[in-house]
Structure 1
């Protein structure tokens, strides 16, 4: 599809659903032909249960892609299994890094110590791109409040270089909205949250957060890195959304 047509689609989607609620954006995106065939990509992390629950009550057969980097916390893997069963997710796709590529480039699981970007690309970015083949877009749990690079996030944006659309139903939510939704729907929290992990990634690159610290400060601590790479294209941060 020509880039101009893609921009027009994203602009139309943002205009159409500008004033809709998060669950309404999700519900319409899953049915709107302009959004195309979508999958939800979930880390089953600290706040993931909100969007997973929304999908389960809206369209439980929505494909859910979970990337098992093979370096996740055991608690995350158990939480993923429990949520999938509790929410009756009907099309959960567990994606892992390519075994041959792992053996060739990170057999001893030490790549993260030398090059975190390369490790994320090996274990997250490339597996996700393979998993998304055949989809027109994907649903993310990103929110404006999480980092400065997400401050102008729209409901719909373009993933540059792939021709896919990204849908961010929770873009305008605040942290209190997340907490309220979880409480009202009695959703289980990731077990590591109560142990000081408000943002959870791979075990070697995630540390507890002290009171008063930014919630994402425990990710790649003391490094000039705030994103794992799945929202990057060709190594660059994607900021190609069309304003709503």
Structure 2
């Protein structure tokens, strides 16, 4: 399904109102929109907006098999607290892991391949029914995201909605406090951006929020948000 220009224009009218953007997308594209969430450092705010707009929207969680235990507990607790009724796991087929990463150490010598098998491929499969995907990306997260638009059309025609694109880290923190939303437990330990445990490290104050992801490598994205 291709999202028409008229629908895109309708969505763009709500770019400044995350809840209304999600609500309109759900109304205009019933059954064709899903939310991607890592249940990471700032995920609670986007998921609160989702719950307010339509708690039955599918929320896709990439179950990589390499998450921090804190993330898995947070996923369960936050979904229950917000009343999200359709959180789905997207995981790599066991046969794929057995063939290419039987020891779980692929991340150490080929992190791109690890991300492809554990994240990119499962998401590609999970999102096939959904021409519109919602993400929690923000322009301030990294230099690679500074031009991010709220309503984004990918080269393959897929639409990504980024309701928090223009929000700063301070604005997100303030709104989370106002809504009494619990942060990911690792935030207090210096993890402003949280991915898989082997490839995520704490950062020092003032550093890029994503500098702890694949630290020391010429890698800034896992691949699920880049053209391929």
Does TM, normalized by the shorter one, top 0.5?
yes
Could you tell me which residue of structure 2 aligns to residue 67 of structure 1? 62
Q: Does 1:85 align with 2:80?
A: yes
Could you tell me which residue of structure 2 aligns to residue 16 of structure 1? 13
Size of the aligned set, in residue pairs, is 228
Please give the TM-score of this superposition, normalised by the length of structure 2: 0.94
| Contact 2:11 2:21 survives alignment (8 Å) | no
Q: Summarize the Cα distance change of 1:201–1:15 in structure 2 as closer, same or farther, 3 Å threshold.
A: closer
1:192 to 186, 207, 212: 186
Task: Give the superposition deviation at 1:224.
Answer: 1.1
Could you tell me which residue of structure 2 aligns to residue 166 of structure 1? 160
Where in structure 2 are there 5+ consecutive unaligned residues? none
Task: Give the superposition deviation at 1:85.
Answer: 1.1
SS in 2 for 1:31: helix
- Matches of 2:39 and 2:12, distance apart in 1: 30
SS in 1 for 2:209: coil
Could you tell me which residue of structure 1 aligns to residue 149 of structure 2? 154
Could you tell me which residue of structure 1 aligns to residue 204 of structure 2? 210
Please give the TM-score of this superposition, normalised by the length of structure 1: 0.88
Task: Give the superposition deviation at 1:94.
Answer: 1.1
Alignment RMSD, CA only? 1.8
Q: Does 1:50 align with 2:45?
A: yes
Where in structure 1 are there 5+ consecutive unaligned residues? 235-244
SS in 2 for 1:40: strand
- Matches of 1:106 and 1:213, distance apart in 2: 32
Task: Give the superposition deviation at 1:164.
Answer: 1.8
Could you tell me which residue of structure 1 aligns to residue 94 of structure 2? 99
| Contact 2:11 2:25 survives alignment (8 Å) | no
- Matches of 2:153 and 2:186, distance apart in 1: 33
Alignment of 1:134-153 (within 5 A): 134-153=129-148
- Matches of 1:16 and 1:188, distance apart in 2: 30
Q: Does 1:220 align with 2:214?
A: yes
Deviation string, structure 1 residues 105-145 (Cα, Å, up to 9, x no partner) = 00011111111111001000100010011112110001111
Task: Give the superposition deviation at 1:11.
Answer: 5.4
Would you identify which runs of 4 or more consecutive aligned residues in structure 1 move more than 4 Å?
A: none
| Contact 1:76 1:190 survives alignment (8 Å) | yes
| Contact 1:197 1:208 survives alignment (8 Å) | yes
- Matches of 1:120 and 1:177, distance apart in 2: 30
Task: Give the superposition deviation at 1:174.
Answer: 0.9
- Matches of 2:69 and 2:12, distance apart in 1: 42
Q: Does 1:76 align with 2:71?
A: yes
2:21 to 13, 25, 39: 25
